[in-house]
Structure 1
Amino acid sequence: MAIGNIYVISGVAVIGGALFGFDISSLSAQLAMQSYLCYFNQGPKGPPPEFEANDEKKCSGPESLVQGGITAAMSAGSWAGALVSGFLSDWLGRKYAIMIGCVIWMIGSAISCSSQNIPQLAIGRMINGFCVGIESAQVPVYIAEIAKPSMRGRLIGFQQWAITWGILIMYYISYGCSFIGGGDYDTYKTASWRIPWGLQMLPAVFLFFMMMLLPESPRWLARKDRWEECHSVLTLVHGDGDPNHPWVNQELQEIKEMCEFERQHSDATYLDLFKPRMLHRTITALFTQIWSQLTGMNVMMYYIANIFTMAGYTGNAVLLASSIQYVINVFMTIPALLWMDRWGRRYTMLVGATFMGIWMFVGAGILANYGRVIPGGIGGVAAQSMEVSGAPAKALIASVYLFVASFAPTWGPASWTYPPELFPLHLRGKGVAMSTSGNWAFNTALGLFVPEAFANIKWKTYLIFGIFNVCMFVHVFFLFPETSGHTLEEVSSIFEDPNGIPYIGTPAWKTKVATSATRRAEAGDLEAKYGEKEKNLQPVQSAEAAEASPVERT
């Protein structure tokens, strides 16, 4: 029997997001480990010439561009996985697409764990990324299509919270494993990174088997004319077992109307996303994910070890200090889970862009004024191109922590919540896949860009991301409409408002959070709106029955 508790359903599904978190922190932790740097070393062993008096036996690891490629391999795979997920999800369903991603993750993790060289590691990470692309695109779609409007943001926000927990858990596992073997080039043990990369398979195994107990998306079932199953899922999740529950009947009616309207679009393709009436939604969803990357957050996640090394930390102190930002990331996501549906998507993203821009400019100013350029990089690592000490170093670390505290309750959860709300049913799977592919395309580019940027333009790297945050504030203010509290079917009316801007709809700054009507509906007070006849509405049993109630909607 399927599980019907919406919180359990969401809690299980978002483990797909945790897989992304595991991958982020497992690699970011390795960048400071001698076992990783020495096993995949491309430079000389031992201290660089300018530190010959130092008797530490160190390795410089992969070259900066190669390390960027190793990091970006996961993102490149995620980009491909996100694009493929749209077809996979529309064909097999949201549930089975997530399960297929789990199998792919286990294969990629096994390859990474057994890596003998850099190409094998890159291939394993790329396969892992293919899974992450599927999960990151389809988990939000699955939750969006099964949740009530008033809790949709909170539940999809669990995706980001799961990512933060995945980052934190895997980081401390990696930190603990860093003590395996010695810290020199002739005493290290590869178990210190093979064990974490092997353990990351376990959540995928759990997710695969638990997904068997969860229901399929009712909207996907409806689009496949499986109306009895659609009604059963709505009854299970929203009706407390009562097939005539008012909320179940309302949802079923709206899904029926939308399916009837979209029946003519049964052969939708990615090209439909770029038609004039859909272009604004596509660009908005795409840039939601692109901007989330250009905030600079993944710079902090992947290369935090480099930043703390430039601030004067060494050895295990780098790993321990870096972990604090992951703790901040977990706990500062909680306010969004509790209140984002009240705050709304627009306000959340505008506030986040403002504060993140401030902290990026602060970081750039500190390094520009107090940083000292280190030729060849600290310890021979070119990306660690500057050094700062004393009070400025503490201020730099504080700006990093404050940046993370600004991202966690804003763009972190909002970037996953917003895109699934923008698209109509027949394009939702492909639309979210397209937007998520933008996330991974820019993640790939940044993975390659950031080490080279730190090595060549140094403090100006922070400046670039600060400017990006200013640009995203302007974009959100003028072109991102509010969707919080609206049903997925109602959101279409915002973009198709005949009194609004052509091909854009209601001006974004005029849209507001919908709360009172939805709450009354969820409280069971539907009789006043629909009357007794609506309350006793019988479920649609077939496609023929659905066609008996044509939609008058444009």
Structure 2
Amino acid sequence: MVVGNIYIIAAVAVVGGGLFGFDISSMSAQLGENAYKCYFNQGPEGPPFNDNQNCSGPRSLVQGGITASMAGGSWLGALISGLLSDRLGRKTSIMTGCVIWVIGSILVCTSQNIGMLIVGRIVNGLAVGIESAQVPVYVSELAPPSKRGRFVGAQQWAITWGIMIMFYVSYGCSFIGGQHSNDYSTAAFRVPWGIQMIPAIGLFFAMIFLPESPRWLARKDRWEEYPHSPFVMLELEDIKNMCEFERLHKDVTYLDLFKPNMLNRTIIAVFMQIWSQLTGMNVMSYSGNANLLASSIQYVINVVMTIPALIYIDSWGRRPTLLIGAALMCTWMFANAGILGGQGVVVPGGVDGVPEESMQLTGAAAKGLIACTYLFVASYAPTWGPVSWIYPPELFPLRLRGKGVALATSSNWAFNLALGLFTPPAFVNIKWKVYLVFGIFNLAMFIHVFFMFPETAGKTLEETENMFEDPNGPKYIGTPAWKTRVDRHATMLERGQTDVEGKLAVRHVEDDEKTVTGGANVASESDATTPPV
């Protein structure tokens, strides 16, 4: 039995994004926990331990390596995923990522030392890189154009859920055992690291019942496996025409992404992911040693505020969403810079001995900083968060989609790694000016989006290809970005299955007429490639 309902397909597939969220919280929530710091202690108090209170944990540089190892593995995994997806299929690559995730989680959960922990996190990163790159490709190739943003954007929602769930799981497990170096329990961190295997196991077995991407099957000439849905059959002609052209370009490499006719799309996709990191979400999420439970408020905001994007992103369009998001985030960043720069007090050595918390606020100024931080998260969640996953798969032709999205996603992970190393020392050295830096980044991305990011909402993936090849626009650019609009014709075909089947019947009659009269086929108006239930 093959499940064909696109809502079920998307709900299952985006669990791959949830793995990313699980991994983020499974580590960040442990950094201040005594059990973690004692077991992996490198400080002056052990091992062997000679104190009965607290341990200092891994040295700062070592902890940076532990944290960054996942992002490094994800960068490599994203690049590998392009080759894996093109050769084995979108579905198989997602299932492969699940297997790798379980292996990595076992290594992390059973870690006996820091080296083993780092290796486990690199393996986990490989899985996250594969999933984060290929889940959007898979869903975008199955989703109807008028709802594609909703379904692909669900990956970001799954990420936010993964972060929040694992954050609270880790918080609950932090109470396992004692809170001193002589009575702590490793279960406090091993249990969360073991629990994170469950979603991957469920995703692997659920994917067995989901279809392969029809567009990938078409490119591989596996028409006998092609879904026979009315939606798919209506769009079949467009896909066939595209595949006829792409048979001449079967052997593609990453270098093809940098040819003149693809370079513009590659730059847009790569910067889509780079800018999503340079929004400063990581900076706003930085909370030092703040109370574990209290600092999770922003994760709740992230989950809740992603919902409007899932509902309206296909009506709003990609461009307005990105432009409004960049403008709002720029505002909150500059506001935080002004508040902290004007009212903050420098604390030598850092607040409570944490060098990264180099400035302190009290009273109304402190409340204002917190409010702007929450408003920033509320601005990021329905805009750049989901669109960063929605947009790249829509930009590339079928033959390069897997590799193009893989390259873009690897850029995300490269900058994730860089910002992880940049942010703590930046707060130590330039203090409030960190917010100023990211405010300028948001201003720059607003300008870049306005002039170079075209609208893709409502268009089939084949129509998007035609937009970039518009002969009336600049060579290798196509239709100028600011002249593009949301294509709303797609929703006309989603009023009911009966209407679609009626159009399909007309299509069949006209095909029959063509065999007699030589007449031309009616142009496909389909907006979906949803396979049958």
Is residue 64 of structure 2 the alignment partner of residue 91 of structure 1? no
Change (3 A) 1:139 1:472: same
Q: 2:173 aligns with which of 177, 190, 198?
A: 177
1:132 to 118, 125, 128: 128
Query: 1:144 corresponds to which letter in structure 2?
Result: S
Q: Distance in 2 between the 1:2 and 1:319 partners?
A: 43
The structure 1 residue matched to 2:347, chosen from 365, 368, 374, is 374
Pairing of 1:57-206 with structure 2 (within 5 A): 57-206=53-202
Which one of 232, 237, 245 corresponds to residue 248 of structure 1?
A: 232
Aligned to 1:5: 5
Q: 1:266 — aligned with what?
A: 250
The alignment status of 1:337 with 2:333, answered yes or no, reads: no
What's the CA shift for 1:534? 4.5
1:521 aligned partner, one-letter code:
L
Greater shift in the superposed pair: 62-71 or 107-116: 62-71
- Which amino acid in 2 is paired with 1:299? V
Instruction: List per-residue Cα deviations over 1:347-388 (Å, max 9, x = no partner).
Output: 111111111111122222222223333333334333233332
Q: Which residue of 2 aligns with 1:362?
A: 335
The alignment status of 1:383 with 2:356, answered yes or no, reads: yes
CA distance in 2, matches of 1:409, 1:491: 23
Do structure 1's residue 532 and structure 2's residue 506 form an aligned pair?
yes
Distance, in Å, in 2 between the alignment partners of 1:410 and 1:191 is: 38
C-alpha separation in 1, matches of 2:181 and 2:345: 28
**1:294 matched residue in structure 2:** 278
8 Å Cα contact 1:64/1:451 also seen in 2: no
Deviations 1:127-181 (A, max 9, x none): 1110000000000000011111011000001100100110111011001011122
Distance 2:130 2:305 in 1: 26
Contact 2:73 2:124 in 1 (8 A): yes
CA deviation after TM superposition for structure 1 residue 249, in Å = 2.3
Match status 1:398 vs 2:371: yes
Please say if 1:35 is aligned against 2:19. no
- Per-residue CA deviation, residues 211-233 of structure 1 (Å, 9 max, x unaligned), is 11101000000000011212xx2
Preserved contact between residue 68 and residue 450 of structure 1 (Cα < 8 Å): no
- 3-state SS, counterpart of residue 115 of structure 1: coil
Q: Deviations over 1:461-493 (max 9, x none)?
A: 222111111111111010000000000000011
Of stretches 418-427 and 520-529 in structure 1, the one that deviates more from structure 2 is 520-529
Aligned to 2:388: 415
Aligned partners of 1:141 and 1:326: how far apart in 2?
26
What are the superposed Cα offsets for residues 272-319 of structure 1, whole Å, 9 maximum, x if unpaired? 000000000000001101111111113344x33x1xx4xxx5xxxx11
Question: How far 1:58 sits from its partner (Å)?
Answer: 3.7
Q: Deviations over 1:40-96 (max 9, x none)?
A: 3344459xxxxxxxx994444334333322221111100000000000001110001
CA shift in 2, pair 1:65/1:465, >3 Å? farther
Question: Take 1:72 and 1:386, find their aligned partners in 2: how far apart are those partners?
Answer: 25
Aligned-partner Cα distance in 2 for 1:465–1:41: 34
Q: Distance in 2 between matches of 1:155 and 1:461?
A: 34
| 1:433 is aligned to 2:369 | no
**Which residue does the alignment assign to 2:433?**
460
Q: Summarize deviations over 1:423-475 as a string: whole Å, max 9, x none.
A: 00000000000100100010111111112222222222222111111111111
| 1:476 has 2:449 as partner | yes
Counterpart contact for 1:249–1:537, Cα < 8 Å: no
Q: Aligned equivalents of 1:31 and 1:466: distance in 2?
A: 28
Q: Distance in 1 between matches of 2:390 and 2:128?
A: 17
Determine which of 227, 235, 239 is the counterpart of 2:223: 227
**Is the CA contact (8 Å cut-off) linking 1:276 and 1:503 kept in structure 2?**
yes
Q: Does the 8 A contact of 2:95 with 2:207 survive in 1?
A: yes
Q: Structure 2: 5+ residue runs without aligned partners? A: 513-520, 524-533
CA positional deviation for 1:261? 1.3
The SS at the match of 1:189 is coil
- Taking every aligned residue pair, what percent have the same amino acid on both sides? 66
Counterparts in 2 of 1:488 and 1:326: CA distance versus 1, 3 Å: same
8 Å Cα contact 1:45/1:57 also seen in 2: no
Q: 1:121 offset after TM fit, Å? A: 1.7
Q: Residue type matched to 2:426 in 1? A: A
Gaps of 5+ in 1: 47-54, 240-244, 539-548
Query: After superposition, what is the alpha-carbon deviation per residue over 1:394-441, rounded to whole angstroms, capped at 9, x for unaligned?
Result: 222222211111111001110000000000000000000010010001
Question: CA offset at residue 533 of structure 1?
Answer: 4.0
Report the Cα distance in structure 1 between the residues aligned to 2:363 and 2:184, rounded to whole angstroms.
32
Letter in 1 for 2:259: K
1:57 and 1:363 map into 2 onto residues whose CA distance is: 36
Cα deviation for residue 203 of structure 1 reads 0.5
1:50 is aligned to none
The one-letter code matched in structure 2 to 1:137 is A
2:233 and 2:504 in contact (8 A); partners too: no
Give the drift of 1:530.
Answer: 8.7
Number of equivalences = 509
Residue from 475, 486, 492 that aligns with 1:520 = 492
Shift of the 535–452 alpha-carbon distance from structure 1 to 2, 3 Å rule, reads farther
CA distance 1:9–1:402, change in 2 (3 Å): same
Answer yes or no: is the 8 Å Cα contact 1:344–1:513 preserved in 2. Answer: yes
Letter in 2 for 1:269: T
Cα 1:67–1:388 shift into 2, 3 Å: farther
Q: CA separation of 1:451/1:350 partners in 2, compared to 1, >3 Å: closer, same or farther?
A: same
Aligned with 2:293: secondary structure?
helix
Aligned counterparts of 2:187 and 2:402: Cα–Cα separation in 1: 40
Give the distance between the partners of 1:383 and 1:61, measured in 2 at CA: 17
Contact 1:149 1:484 in 2 (8 A): yes
The reply on whether 1:283 has 2:267 as its aligned counterpart is: yes
CA separation of 1:537 and 1:145: change in aligned 2, threshold 3 A: farther
**So what's the TM-score if we normalise by structure 1?**
0.87
Contact 2:52-2:182 within 8 A present in 1 as well: no
Matched, 1:257 2:241: yes
Q: Which residue type is aligned with residue 385 of structure 1?
A: S
Q: How far, CA to CA, are the matches of 1:394 and 1:182 in structure 2?
A: 34
